[in-house]
Amino acid sequence: MAAHWPNRRPLERAARWDGVFTIALPGPEALADIATEITNQRDQSQGTFDVVIDLEPGVAPAPWQQAGATWVLADFGPQPRAAHVREVIEKGPR
């Protein structure tokens, strides 16, 4: 389920499913709040829950992972340049 920070209603829906992709987060602290909020709404019997974010290539993912991100996607913006995408792919995971 998708969510746009700071709207809470999508988080309620996402908690019933198995993941959330939140955009426009101001920082890892906001993600930690979201992860805690969803954890509190879910029953353990519902299984695992993925928290997906997107970061510009080169941004360190560690603070976001510590805040609860289980997937970090590369955000190339609305008009990605093929050369930039290839460059990031060639550098490999960070």
Tell me the CATH number at 29: 3.40.50
Q: Which residues contact 85 (CB under 8 A, 6 or more apart)?
A: 76
Q: Distance between CA 10 and CA 87 in Å, rounded?
A: 35
Query: In the predicted model, what is the mean pLDDT of residues 16-38?
Result: 94
What is the DSSP annotation of 13-44? HHHTTTEEEEES--SHHHHHHHHHHHHHHS-G
pLDDT of 94 above 70 = no
* Percent of the chain with pLDDT strictly greater than 70: 99
> Per this entry, what is the length of the chain?
94
Tell me the pTM. 0.85
Domain count, the chain: 1
Map residue 5 onto helix, strand or coil: coil
Region of 9 please: left (phi>0), alpha (psi -120 to 50) or beta: alpha
Expressed as residue numbers, the domain containing 66 is: 2-91
